[in-house]
């Protein structure tokens, strides 16, 4: 689906990190005004494969994701405003933001600790920690050697990867414009892509993901660990199906960790109506899919996933939040799925 036209101004980052105060929070991602379009940047790919997308796809999603930037801002803010030890020790995100970001976050402390923004930030850092912990066990215990970040945004795992990850191949998949934005930010920060990282530009709505990955060197005969964090809510139901179809065509043993959002009580329409939905749409990344766990499980099992578990907010709270005194908490509608083929 074509995105809303890009806006010219960049309001960063407190507008984004305090999105809760504007109502785009609790159950979903934050947002901010879109950066001005910049399709001209070309970056050295450091010898790694970059899959060019057909022009129609580039046109359909020509603006980089602003929610990806918002998520990075909140990961950075977590290290500044929340209690140590961090849930996610991501020292790279701050470097991908605009110069002066740390000061802006510091001076926005009050807004960053309002309940909506806390829940939003908590959901964002917890989902990455959740995925990375499970990736570690899949690699170290089960011998998985391929990691797919589906809708990677400004995910920083590849740039701060621990030693055990050096033996795996990492594939960051995202829309061409979002990926170009990430690479521009990396270049500005002087961060060099590690040798085990491959960028794959794809639109889940229209690209043949399996084919794109194969061309980039992904071996679908071998199990992979795939993560899609904060992404499904932005995809239509049909695109979620396409994504699930693609992942379910991978080798037995493939594990898929993703986040999704339950509908609000009484919500019958998808996409949802109302002020919050209108705000998300205005940001150019409308909410598209809300799912109940039972329906997600059904969709996964029909595609051959054998083991399907969900981490509900109470489970995630027990695992990561007990003992913290910084007031971080999770939206009751944010769920993490962990499914194995």
Query: Quick one: three-class SS letters along 174-243?
Result: ECHHHHHHHHHHHHHHCCCCCCCEEEEECCCCCCCHHHHHHHCCCCCCCCCEEEECCCHHHCCHHHHHHH
Q: Is 226 in the site for ligand SAM (CB under 6 A)?
A: no
Taking CB under 6 A as the rule, does residue 331 contact ligand SAM? Answer: no
Site for ligand SAM in 128-157 (CB under 6 A): 151-155
Angle at 135 between CA 130 and CA 138, to 5 degrees: 130
Total binding residues for ligand SAM by CB under 6 A?
22
Q: How far is the CB of 333 from ligand SAM (least distance, A)?
A: 16
Among 16, 122, 144, 229, binds ligand SAM (CB under 6 A): 229
In the list 14, 17, 19, 68, the residue contacting ligand SAM (rule: CB under 6 A) is 68
N- to C-terminal Cα distance for the chain? 29
| Three-class DSSP category at 146 | strand
3-state class (DSSP) for residue 337: strand
Burial (CB < 10 A; 0-12, 13-18, 19+), residue 143, is exposed
Q: How far is the CB of 65 from ligand SAM (least distance, A)?
A: 3
Shortest approach of ligand SAM to residue 156 CB, angstroms? 9
Q: Which residue has the tokens 């603006």?
A: 63
Residue 302 three-state SS: helix
Q: x/- site string to ligand SAM, residues 24 to 63, per CB under 6 A?
A: -----x----------------------------------
> Using CB under 6 A as the criterion, what x/- string covers residues 159-178 for binding ligand SAM?
---------------xx--x
Contact with ligand SAM (CB under 6 A): which of 10, 189, 205, 281? 205
Q: Which residues contribute to the site for ligand SAM (CB under 6 A)?
A: 29, 65, 67-68, 71, 151-155, 174-175, 178, 203-205, 229-231, 234-235, 239
């Amino acid at each position: 689906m074509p995105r809303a036209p890009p806006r010219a101004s960049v309001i960063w980052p407190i507008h984004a990190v305090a999105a809760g105060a504007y109502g785009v929070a609790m159950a979903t991602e934050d947002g901010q005004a879109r950066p001005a379009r910049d399709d001209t940047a070309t970056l050295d790919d450091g010898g790694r494969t970059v899959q060019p997308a057909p022009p129609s796809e580039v046109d359909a999603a020509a603006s980089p994701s602003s929610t990806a930037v918002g998520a990075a801002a909140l990961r950075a803010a977590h290290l500044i405003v929340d209690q140590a030890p961090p849930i996610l020790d991501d020292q790279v995100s701050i470097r991908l933001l605009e110069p002066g970001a740390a000061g802006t976050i510091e001076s926005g402390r009050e807004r960053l600790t309002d309940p909506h923004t806390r829940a939003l930030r908590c959901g964002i850092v917890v989902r990455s920690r959740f995925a990375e912990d499970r990736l570690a066990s899949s690699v170290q215990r089960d011998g998985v050697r391929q990691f797919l970040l589906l809708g990677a945004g400004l995910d920083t795992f590849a740039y701060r990867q621990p030693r055990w990850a050096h033996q795996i191949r990492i594939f960051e998949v995202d829309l061409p414009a979002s990926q170009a934005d990430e690479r521009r930010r990396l270049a500005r920060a002087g961060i060099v892509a590690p040798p085990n990282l491959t960028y794959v530009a794809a639109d889940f709505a229209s690209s043949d993901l399996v084919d794109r990955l194969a061309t980039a060197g992904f071996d679908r005969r071998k199990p992979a660990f795939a993560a899609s964090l904060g992404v499904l809510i932005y995809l239509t139901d049909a695109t979620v199906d396409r994504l699930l179809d693609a992942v379910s065509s991978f080798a037995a043993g493939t594990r898929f960790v993703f986040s999704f959002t339950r509908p609000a009580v009484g919500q019958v329409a998808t996409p949802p109506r109302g002020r919050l939905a209108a705000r998300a749409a205005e940001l150019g990344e409308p909410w598209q899919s809300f799912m109940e766990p039972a329906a997600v499980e059904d969709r996964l099992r029909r595609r051959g996933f054998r083991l399907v578990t969900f981490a509900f907010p109470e489970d995630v709270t027990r695992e990561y939040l007990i003992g913290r005194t910084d007031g971080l908490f999770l939206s009751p509608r944010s769920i993490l799925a962990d499914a194995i083929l």
